[in-house]
Amino acid sequence: MEPALESHLLKFGSLVPSLALLIYLADHPQGGPVGAGALKAAIAWAGYLESHARRLYASVTAPEMAAATALDKRLPNLEDGFTASNISRRGWAHLTRETTPGALAILEDHFRICGERKASKQGEGGRPTTVYRVNPALRHEMADRDL
């Protein structure tokens, strides 16, 4: 676990009892001992807040995953034969020169796209490049959703 997230979650030790007390007092303004219902509600709230904290910290601690999520949303709009540089030049959120290769690798690992290594053209020199295509089954799925 990332240290920042761990530190955040350690504060939940005092959050749950505090929430339980507030929930109990909202329902019983006269006071009294905090009941099990208020405690269960506080635990549920803490679970909800934890899921949001994990997502927030993941976008900071795992920029490639945030980039992959952002790119995945844009797949329907991409023409087959795109490259990493095509993506990073567009200036889309989370998709920089540094994060785009990792995002492409994640999407390839999940069979969302397929990369094909292409040699440079004869006489042009330069490095080979990888050209990506969206999974055809995914294109059909996206088209069905749009209907």
Report how far residue 112's alpha carbon sits from residue 133's, in angstroms, rounded to the nearest whole number.
9
Radius of gyration of the chain (CA): 24
Q: Is the pLDDT at 140 greater than 80, yes or no?
A: no
- The whole-number pLDDT of residue 119 equals 78
17-29 pLDDT tens trace: 999 999 999 999 9
Residue ranges of domains in the chain, CATH in brackets: 3-61 (no CATH), 63-146 (1.10.10.10)
Phi, psi of 129 (to 5 degrees): -130, 160
Q: Is the pLDDT at 54 greater than 90, yes or no?
A: no
Residue spans of beta strands (DSSP E) within the chain: 113-118, 129-134
87-133 pLDDT tens trace: 989 989 889 999 999 999 989 998 999 999 987 666 566 778 899 99
Answering whether pTM is above 0.75, one says: no
H or E stretch covering 32? none
- The whole-number pLDDT of residue 146 equals 56
What residues contact residue 19 under an 8 Å CB cut-off, 6+ apart?
A: 41, 42, 45, 46
From the CB of residue 129, how many other CB atoms can be counted at a distance below 10 Å?
Answer: 14
